[in-house]
């Protein structure tokens, strides 16, 4: 099952440099990244999709960076208008709340990969598969 890493950090200069230096030193590649500030803008959350999330989690723990490893659901959709809407409509109709999400495109394949953070990963994955979506496993996702 694919995983993402969430890091909790002060919103100040150098935070991204510190995180990316740890990843560089561990030879861990970033596949996708999102950065969000909290309501007070003093702290934020950095979410990372990495090629070796378990190793990264250990490295951040060793460096006293608060982090959380979470299972996610990833699917392939067509890189065209409405590609994401079809998946989000399926989830809405089944009462699945998407807590967080992000995506990226694979131009040479005319595909997009969309990552969902939800309460029940297994149920969500099952619903999407039943609806005909191609889910992406961890090995494939980390090496796209």
pLDDT digits (tens, 9 = 90+) for 56-84: 999 999 999 999 999 999 999 988 888 88
pTM, two decimals, is: 0.87
Residue pair 48/5 in contact (Cβ under 8 Å)? The answer is: yes
What would the mean pLDDT of 118-137 be, rounded to a whole number? Answer: 95
Neighbours of 1 (CB within 10 A): 13
Domains of the chain: 3-71 (3.30.2130.10), 73-142 (3.30.70.260)
pLDDT digits (tens, 9 = 90+) for 39-55: 788 888 999 999 999 99
DSSP 94: T
Residues near 109 by beta carbon (within 8 Å), at least 6 away in sequence = none
Residue pair 70/56 in contact (Cβ under 8 Å)? The answer is: no
pLDDT of 144 higher than 80: no
Determine which helix (DSSP H) or strand (DSSP E) holds 123, and give its type and residue range. helix 121-130
pLDDT of 36 higher than 90: no
- Closest of 119, 125, 120 to residue 87, by C-alpha: 125
pLDDT of 14 higher than 90: no
Determine which helix (DSSP H) or strand (DSSP E) holds 70, and give its type and residue range. strand 67-71
Q: What is the pLDDT of residue 41?
A: 81
The residue with greater pLDDT, 109 or 16, is: 16
Q: What is the pLDDT of residue 37?
A: 81
């Amino acid at each position: 099952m694919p995983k993402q890493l969430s890091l909790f950090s002060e919103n100040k200069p150098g935070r991204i440099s510190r995180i990316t230096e740890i990843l560089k030193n561990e030879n861990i590649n970033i596949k996708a990244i999102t950065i969000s500030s909290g309501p007070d803008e003093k702290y934020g959350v950095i979410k990372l999709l990495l090629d070796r999330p378990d190793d990264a989690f250990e490295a951040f723990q060793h460096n006293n960076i608060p982090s959380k490893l979470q299972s996610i659901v990833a699917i392939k959709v067509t890189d065209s208008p409405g590609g994401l809407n079809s998946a989000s409509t399926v989830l809405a109709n089944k009462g699945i709340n998407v807590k967080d999400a992000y995506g990226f495109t694979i131009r040479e394949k005319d595909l997009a990969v969309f990552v969902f953070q939800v309460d029940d990963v297994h149920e969500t994955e099952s619903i999407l598969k039943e609806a005909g979506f191609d889910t992406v496993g961890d090995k494939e996702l980390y090496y796209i």
